Amino acid sequence: MGCITTIAYPILCKHTVMQRSHVLIGVGGGIAAYKLVEVVSSLAKAGLEVRCILTAAAQQFVTPLTFATLSRHAAYTDRDFWQPVHGRPLHIELGEWAEVLLIAPLTANTLAKLAYGMADNLLTNTVLASTCPVLLAPAMNTEMWEQLAVQRNWQQVHQDPRYHPVGPGAGILACDRVGAGRMAEPEEILPYIHSLLYTQGNRDLTGKKILISAGGTREFLDPVRFIGNPSTGKMGMALAQAAAHRGAEVILVHGPLEEMVMQTLPAKIHTVPVISASEMQQAMMQHLSIADWIIMAAAVADVKPANYSVEKLPKSALPDSLPLSSVPDIVATLAQFKQAHQRLIGFAAQSGDIITPAKEKLQRKHLNAIVANPIDQPNSGFGSDQNQAVFIDAQGRQQAIAPCTKLHMAHQLLDFIQTIP
């Protein structure tokens, strides 16, 4: 199968390292089963305990030995069904052990069993013997996916709050068909697993509309040169992921982002791409009225070239001193127009003393809360997968966030916002 690319996601849950999280992977019968190799490897390397169940059809695509090797634990099949574990049935033991259960690729056959509560193999029996949240990642041919019976079953499992859907997406399928039915990528599945470990499947933001900005803006001098910053948009993306995983309706206004970062977003998030600060302000103002919370995580430029050339300037024509002009203060403008029921949260990326300038910005721009974010600490700030911060609200409350993944920090910020009067 070639080299396995693993995605580094440090432990993301409310448990201590000594209480490692338990993730159970149910592998279905489909060519997309190869993607689970990356999922299992990444989870195990992140320090989580992983167990795998393979259906009979799954073993035609990837062997139990592969998953046993990557998970550092035996992989189970129907042959193990009635083998007792410490004197107890295996499906009971696994069902009670799991904190999150992923079923992928979810086939039409297994979907039908879940919809009607059927249990005729180790995997489906374990589902019924468990109470943890279940993440479902369907994968099948487009015609199969669009069948009325399949869509009916898909809608039926949505009625059970235990089940959380991820995908399917659209693209080129193994049958050479182009259309819906492509299984979600590991880059989207892994953050969802970590979110479920944090929330235990709670959709506490259902009904909320959250407007988030992410990434840096670019202010162009000519078609190829611009003033920008090192922001990758990872913090804003993590906020969008966390909010969507918790049931919120999310609108994400973002500057230029890498394709790999975009692949982590749940498909239900409404994205609005922009480039400049003025474009971002226009997009944020356009959606302001429908938002309950507005989180301004983008790294917006402070200035722009005073003059723009429609053609690339030769090097000899570049000025020795570049005239600059100001750009819109987006968060201050949002504060002027927000309603009493809305919550506006800003970010303050600082070096040295992060608290004093953050408090000043909080008061001057009339925010409900601000995230004071150090950019001069290891594994923090621009481009890092981790972050640390101090949350401060308008009442003066402060909450320090120790270094953690940006997704973990996003969940903690969402918790904090819910406590703002």
The low-confidence residues of the chain, meaning pLDDT below 50, are: 1-18
Check if 22-199 and 209-418 are the same fold: yes
From the CB of residue 279, how many other CB atoms can be counted at a distance below 10 Å? 17
22-199 has CATH 3.30.465.10 classification? no
Residues 276, 222: Cα–Cα separation, whole Å: 13
Residue indicated by tokens 């927000």 = 338
Residues with catalytic function? 175
Q: Which alpha helices (H) appear in 322-401, and where do they start and end?
A: 330-337, 355-364
Instruction: Write phi, then psi, for 414 (nearest 5 degrees).
Output: -60, -40
Domain boundaries, the chain: 22-199, 209-418
pLDDT at 4: 36
CA angle (51 as vertex; 49, 54 as ends), nearest 5 = 160
How far, in whole angstroms, is CA 143 from its chain's centroid? 29
Summarised one tens digit per residue, pLDDT across range 366-394 is: 999 999 998 888 777 787 888 999 999 99
Q: How far apart are the first and last CA of the chain?
A: 54
How far, in whole angstroms, is CA 192 from its chain's centroid? 6
Residues in the chain: 421
| Whether the Cβ atoms of residue 134 and residue 127 lie closer than 8 Å to each other | yes
pLDDT at 316: 85
CATH for the 209-418 domain, from 3.30.465.10, 3.40.1160.10, 3.30.450.20, 3.40.50.10300:
3.40.50.10300
Buried b / exposed e along 331-369 (16+ C-beta atoms within 10 A)? beebbeebeeebbbbbbbbbeeebeebbbebbeebebbb
pLDDT at 174: 66
